[in-house]
């Protein structure tokens, strides 16, 4: 069984980035705070993608995708800090930032209004009904612009 978020390219790409961070951090000595910050921020990317993709409302999904995007940008800044401290080579920083750039672009798209990603409910023995569709409406049922 797979979850809907596992089918997202951005999720798989973010896991690739987390793997890079873990391999890099194994060799990072003497920069414990920066290492821990980079590890936490990198983990937050796929975790927020997964949580956001599971949210029922568009607004909630967008908020989690935006948080994941912010974590990716935080990782880029943490890498810059490590480069300035000569703990990360410029070439490695550039290479990892290319991956982050793709992640940020994908999350920007996912965070835009009207974009949604759903799971195939038949995997859970359920079927989508009209009440399962996500719409932005007020409490009286009127659609919002």
Q: Cα–Cα–Cα angle for 53, 63, 38, nearest 5°?
A: 85
- H/E stretch holding 27: none
How large is the C-alpha radius of gyration of the chain? 18
What pLDDT was estimated at residue 121?
A: 52
**pLDDT at residue 79 above 70?**
yes
**CATH architecture group of domain 4-114:** Up-down Bundle (1.20)
Quick: pLDDT tens for 111-121: 886 555 555 55
Structure tokens at 1: 């069984």
Band of pLDDT at residue 1, cut at 50, 70 and 90? confident
What pLDDT was estimated at residue 49?
A: 96
What pLDDT was estimated at residue 30?
A: 84
Band of pLDDT at residue 83, cut at 50, 70 and 90? very high
In this structure, of 31-45, 70-84, 128-142, the range with the lowest mean pLDDT score is 128-142
The CA distance from 63 to 86, in Å, is 35
- Beta-carbon count within 10 A of 25 CB: 17
* High-pLDDT (> 70) share of the chain, %: 77
Give yes or no for a contact between 39 and 71, defined as CB atoms under 8 angstroms apart.
Answer: no
């Amino acid at each position: 069984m797979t979850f809907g978020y596992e089918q997202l390219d951005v999720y798989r790409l973010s896991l690739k980035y987390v793997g890079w961070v873990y391999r890099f951090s194994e060799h990072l000595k003497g920069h414990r705070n920066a290492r821990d910050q980079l590890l936490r921020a990198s983990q937050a990317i796929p975790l927020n993608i997964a949580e956001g993709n599971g949210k029922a409302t568009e607004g909630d999904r967008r908020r989690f995708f935006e948080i994941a995007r912010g974590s990716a940008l935080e990782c880029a800044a943490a890498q810059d800090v490590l480069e300035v401290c000569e703990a990360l080579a410029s070439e490695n920083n550039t290479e990892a930032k290319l991956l982050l750039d793709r992640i940020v672009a994908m999350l920007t798209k996912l965070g835009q209004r009207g974009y949604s990603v759903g799971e195939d409910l038949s995997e859970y023995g359920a079927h989508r009904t009209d009440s399962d569709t996500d719409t932005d409406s007020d409490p009286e049922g009127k659609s919002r612009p």
